[in-house]
Structure 1
């Protein structure tokens, strides 16, 4: 067993360079999550309701394109493999499209501004999908080992958190260095666009693919979603993943409003300190959760982080402008320690549900699962963020006018979105986590079965059938006919 594990160990350099690719996935989404709604309403002057529609339609397109990209990456033929070619192709579009997001359009009308931001979002989200779906799907190709996958996910999320830290702490410092906020945001976008784009040259060079099979089946979005959700382990994982990251999305979207209007801490340095400290502690806590995942299980690492996060959230309701800034910073640090575990664990679990699918189908279909998983998140996230924009609009928010105090209804709405609503989402994630059937012992049995049977076969006799029944559940008719 030890010899087999050593065989599948990845060099440290490979882990580091592969992990650096998630600076784009984690950093860009963190930067957009914290500042984009605020930028569109405060700097570009877009109505919050229309800004919510930009997020809804942009992310809606993003969600629809994800399964298509998963299907395409499973079927791509190139000299560089099925996934790696997209890392090379995405370098320039990452820089260009991210920069477009943060340009203030030269239109005086709300409709013109809305259409500009919508177009920029569609272009950016297309690029994000083109690169990140193959990137997510590559983990099971790099190693079949349970612990190595946890380690690889840890490196990836460490870089994601480093980029998220920079994306939280640095943008407002750059913006505040310019007399014009519009110019500041543009320079900030160009700086981070380079940071997100360049690592993919290294990812392309060090990554490899072990699966040479190219799927020839037709694209069937509904069929892919239905079949993926027939996998019990995947279903439960989605139940953990979606509520957790929806909580992150909602809090991120309103956090700058919370700091600016509820706490009166809207100066660039103070915003950078709060968000930066939160992300720094999240990054520092990550190795602890990797250790917990290895020794106690990935479900335990999630539960630990989610409970810390959930217990601290209500405190935010009671903060006021009179709350000492040091207390705000301490709570931000503690929240970061909790969100580290809640954010790490679902993606650490993801490669293992691909093994469950291979057990019953004999195929490696990580592209479909990666596409479906992010499809479901982005559809739900699009709806949630649109509702956040509409709720801010309905609550009486007054954009970019320091001479008028924000109404109490708006301040109460922001408190609710930051301190109360996410609690229900975290509770949902914990409920599904308790019912997640795939622990390390069962995964070891699963890997042994896959290692000892011919590739591409799906023999479910004996122990394999018992494990499939426990981890996958009843087989759909199309799969059942194939293995019968």
Structure 2
């Protein structure tokens, strides 16, 4: 079967596809950065109720994530797949519904209301994310071009995170309402409209893998009830078959080590600022903005590092930065620097004034503790975000060597499924531990009014925020030492895949055989569907 000639992506395609992470990462930046804080501070929900709302939808996604990936892959030889696109049909369906994001941020509602609106948005998010993630792998096979797609995506992701963190500050400065829930409703409404616009851009500026001449001759089989009944069986068979790929198993460890650490941090950090640093919404917003700006810088550096040296060196360096930041936060809690609370109060909500020598609030000590740890965290987190998604685009190539098939949708489904389940567990455990530590939510009758927490509750917040991320990052760090997928090994893999497609059954050299076997975890003789 001849490989169809691929179109060459240009900068407009890199950024057109990458703009989708305004939804992919932007929504998660709002949800993980603000939603727990919003529910606990303005809606009167307990930490446990908050954890359930953020965690329960992930159980439903155990079905929806692989199902959408499976259906998307199998629409290729249908009328919808050929006329509209097996990936794009899902994107088009989400466009008019995404502004419903704002419904989550309406105060004064019940636990059931918040759970229902969040489940609905998460389903839309999954409908977009899984088909969208496959497109970069379908648009090119070139290692460098795939890295550029990943880089564009991450730059958009970090920009959307900056917007998510700084919008509350802008809204408060223009409309007032310091520590008001209305700030978050306006922010969610703005994001809802942006989500629809960027999905439209993705639809217009991307394409799916072209059909070969042989594929054009394939006639789709009519669906019957027997085949329909087998969809769940086939779906979960394909789902678990991805775990037979060694590089993918290792990749999941790197991915979860980086991302779960951020889920824990994002959930606990606003509470840390409120209880340990004695800041409020404006301070949290400005510190998170600083962190996301540092993440943006980190991604720009990581793009070049990963292309030149591979992903693992960048990953280990990122962990060291985040670890240093967490230890500084722990040090702040232990020593409680004298004069910090008074210096922070003198800033009047403008934390950046601490840097300005001519300002009456100029205070180098306050500036150090506010910004040095959060900048270090941002520099590490940006690279932790970029590395797994730069690697993801090459995993369908490894899988093709084993199966002889292109299964981008299944891999996107598994990635999202594992991510959602892990994120659910991280948020539920984080909020539960904080709740068990004695953290008290705001009174529903007086939303936004600060509650004085016990020393035990504050200690619980600190231990969860510092200890949790360190533990999961260590897991990813250990696995990184045995991960071998990089530009050189990927080039060898692609060459061997083309030889297998042409009918060869033996590797070109002992070295290439060893590389392919290491990446796949399979003996060469069992590749290309022979296992």
TM-score, scaled relative to structure 1: 0.90
Answer yes or no: is the 8 Å Cα contact 2:72–2:87 preserved in 1.
Answer: yes
Report what 2:254 is aligned to.
240
Report what 1:364 is aligned to.
406
Answer yes or no: is the 8 Å Cα contact 1:62–1:122 preserved in 2.
Answer: no
Q: Is 2:315 the counterpart of 1:302?
A: yes
Answer yes or no: is the 8 Å Cα contact 1:315–1:419 preserved in 2.
Answer: no
- Measured after TM superposition, the shift of residue 178 of structure 1 is 4.9
Answer yes or no: is the 8 Å Cα contact 1:134–1:367 preserved in 2.
Answer: yes
Q: Provide the rounded CA distance (Å) in 2 between the counterparts of 1:13 and 1:114.
A: 43
Write out aligned runs for 1:76-95 (5 A).
Answer: 76=75, 77=78, 78=80, 79-95=83-99
Tell me: CA distance 1:153–1:403, structure 2 relative to 1, closer, same or farther (3 Å). Answer: closer
Answer yes or no: is the 8 Å Cα contact 1:45–1:400 preserved in 2.
Answer: yes
Report what 2:145 is aligned to.
148
1:325 counterpart (348, 366, 375): 366
Q: Provide the rounded CA distance (Å) in 1 between the counterparts of 2:372 and 2:49.
A: 35
- Measured after TM superposition, the shift of residue 384 of structure 1 is 1.6
Q: Provide the rounded CA distance (Å) in 1 between the counterparts of 2:33 and 2:366.
A: 20
Query: Is the partner of 2:432 in helix, strand or coil?
Result: helix
Q: Runs of 5+ in structure 2 lacking a partner?
A: 222-229, 341-364, 444-448
Query: Is the partner of 2:393 in helix, strand or coil?
Result: helix
Report what 1:434 is aligned to.
481
Report what 1:418 is aligned to.
465
Cα deviations by residue, 1:227-275 (Å, 9 ceiling, x for unpaired): 1111000000001111210000010011111111110111x33222211
Answer yes or no: is the 8 Å Cα contact 2:403–2:527 preserved in 1.
Answer: no
Answer yes or no: is the 8 Å Cα contact 1:146–1:352 preserved in 2.
Answer: yes
Q: Provide the rounded CA distance (Å) in 1 between the counterparts of 2:64 and 2:84.
A: 23
Write out aligned runs for 1:157-236 (5 A).
Answer: 157-174=154-171, 177-179=175-177, 181-212=180-211, 218-219=231-232, 220-236=234-250
- Measured after TM superposition, the shift of residue 347 of structure 1 is 0.7
Cα deviations by residue, 1:119-138 (Å, 9 ceiling, x for unpaired): 11110110000001011111
Cα deviations by residue, 1:188-207 (Å, 9 ceiling, x for unpaired): 21111112221111110110
- Measured after TM superposition, the shift of residue 7 of structure 1 is 7.8
Q: Is 2:396 the counterpart of 1:354?
A: yes
Query: Is the partner of 2:440 in helix, strand or coil?
Result: coil
Tell me: CA distance 1:23–1:140, structure 2 relative to 1, closer, same or farther (3 Å). Answer: same
Cα deviations by residue, 1:267-286 (Å, 9 ceiling, x for unpaired): x3322221101100110221
Tell me: CA distance 1:118–1:476, structure 2 relative to 1, closer, same or farther (3 Å). Answer: farther
Q: Provide the rounded CA distance (Å) in 2 between the counterparts of 1:396 and 1:363.
A: 52
Tell me: CA distance 1:428–1:405, structure 2 relative to 1, closer, same or farther (3 Å). Answer: same
Cα deviations by residue, 1:115-154 (Å, 9 ceiling, x for unpaired): 1111111101100000010111111111100011111100
Report what 2:11 is aligned to.
12
Q: Provide the rounded CA distance (Å) in 1 between the counterparts of 2:450 and 2:405.
A: 62
TM-score, scaled relative to structure 2: 0.83
- Measured after TM superposition, the shift of residue 336 of structure 1 is 0.8
Tell me: CA distance 1:336–1:8, structure 2 relative to 1, closer, same or farther (3 Å). Answer: farther
Q: Provide the rounded CA distance (Å) in 1 between the counterparts of 2:276 and 2:127.
A: 39
Query: Is the partner of 1:138 in helix, strand or coil?
Result: helix
Judge which range, 300-309 or 232-241, deviates more.
300-309
Report what 2:520 is aligned to.
472
